[in-house]
């Protein structure tokens, strides 16, 4: 029988594991100093073309609800395009 996650979410975990991936820090807060260290470590990091392609493929074909489409439309209404971003 599988055990339940140690964070208290009641989800079942694989045999030998105590937590579901990512649940071991659930509810903890990072200090401002720690956040700054993480930010500085990530500064200048570029995502590879391969990874960007994988992310794009994962999102390709997703259906967007009418509610979300309406929110996007309202947000973009009246926005001026720069010369660089204008369609030809």
Low-confidence ranges of the chain (pLDDT < 70): 1, 88
Question: 1 lies in a domain?
Answer: yes
Q: What pLDDT is recorded for position 1?
A: 55
- Paired residues of 12 in beta bridges: 4
What ranges in the chain are assigned the alpha helix state H?
32-42, 49-59, 66-76
What domain count does the chain have? 1
Query: Token pair for residue 8?
Result: 């208290």
Are 2 and 14 contacting, i.e. CB atoms less than 8 angstroms apart?
A: yes
Question: 3 lies in a domain?
Answer: yes
Question: 76 lies in a domain?
Answer: no
pTM, two decimal places: 0.42
- CA dist list (Å): 47 to 2, 23, 79: 37, 25, 28
List the domain range (segments joined by +) for residue 17.
Answer: 1-40
Q: What pLDDT is recorded for position 29?
A: 87
Question: 12 lies in a domain?
Answer: yes
């Amino acid at each position: 029988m599988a055990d339940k996650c140690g964070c208290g979410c009641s989800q079942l975990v694989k045999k030998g594991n105590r937590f579901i991936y990512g649940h071991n820090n659930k509810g903890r807060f990072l200090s401002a100093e720690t956040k700054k260290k993480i930010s500085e470590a990530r500064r200048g990091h570029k995502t590879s073309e391969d990874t960007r392609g994988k992310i794009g493929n994962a999102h390709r074909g997703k259906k967007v609800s009418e509610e979300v489409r309406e929110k996007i439309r309202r947000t973009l209404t009246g926005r001026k395009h720069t010369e660089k971003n204008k369609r030809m």
